[in-house]
Amino acid sequence: MSVPTPGAPAAHRTGRSTAVRGRRGGQAGSREHILDTARKLFAEHGFEGTSMRQVARAAGVDPAMVHHFFKGKDELFAHSVELPADPEQVLAGVADADPDRRAELIVRTVLRLWESPAQAALLAFLRGSIGSKAKTALLREMVERRVISRIMASVPGPPEEVALRGNLVATQVVGLMMVRYVVRLEPLASAAPDEVVQLVAHTVQRYLTGPLT
């Protein structure tokens, strides 16, 4: 599985107004130009609806050039999204944890990440992802493929139900991030991590494996 190294794809920190620039970004044939093109296509057509070949065509380069810079579509996508942290690394352990006792680990993992030096980059990433419609589409693809899939690994149930449960877990986790770290409502923004875990893990566990209605 290809992974972006933390801090490497940092364009979101310096190029806040770039949004999706398509052909105008970077020099023709450059890595940055290919990434700009890929961002545009992933945002419009999603991960499944975009191929390396289409990216090459839209960028006006030979497919071999795309493969020269990116091993496969996973790697191309990972770099397109410009994540400040690597979900595979951050969520290591979550997918292996017993689904019936996984909620606390999920919440602790989210808090640990946001209270690490990555916080500023995460904030910039989130502001950028929400601030533009095209980037929100990239965020959706990334969250579904690289975050929720791991959080919901081996949770029992029909696929549609597991997908709904994954969405519900996302509502609580995303809401916690927004209220505590972005909007910073008090007293939750200053509460100790242990207290936050106590307050919301119960909800996350219900969405993971508990009765839904």
Interacting residue ranges for a second copy, rule: CB under 8 A: 17, 126-128, 130-133, 136, 139-140, 143-144, 148, 160, 163-164, 166-168, 170-176, 178-180, 182-189, 191, 198-200, 202-203, 206, 212-213
Residue with tokens 């057509």: 45
| Closest distance to a second copy from the beta carbon of 166 (Å) | 8
CA distances in angstroms from 77 to 3, 161, 168, 171, listed in the order given = 10, 27, 25, 24
- Write phi, then psi, for 75 (nearest 5 degrees): -70, -40
With respect to a second copy, which residue has the nearer C-beta, 52 or 164? 164
Shortest distance (Å) from residue 28 CB to a second copy = 28
Residue of 122, 149, 125, 151 whose CA lies nearest to 138: 125
- Look at residues 7, 199, 164, 31 and name the one whose alpha carbon lies nearest to residue 89: 7
* Alpha carbon separation from 26 to 31, 50, 98, 113, 198 (Å, rounded): 8, 20, 46, 32, 47
Give the separation between CA 151 and CA 79, rounded to whole angstroms: 21
Best CA proximity match to 90, nearest among 75, 80, 105, 101: 105
In terms of CB distance, is 97 or 164 closer to a second copy?
164
Min dist. Cβ of residue 148 to a second copy (A): 8
In whole angstroms, the minimum distance from the beta carbon of 173 to a second copy comes to: 7
Q: How far is the CB of 105 from a second copy (least distance, A)?
A: 18
Q: Which is nearer to a second copy, 90 or 143 (CB)?
A: 143
Residue with smaller CB distance to a second copy, 76 or 110: 110
Shortest gap between Cβ of 88 and a second copy (angstroms)? 20
Whichever of 31 and 127 has its CB closer to a second copy, that residue is 127
Residue 66 or 81: the one with the smaller Cβ distance to a second copy is 81
From 57, 28, 18, 2, select the one nearest 135 (Cα to Cα): 18
DSSP state of 19: S
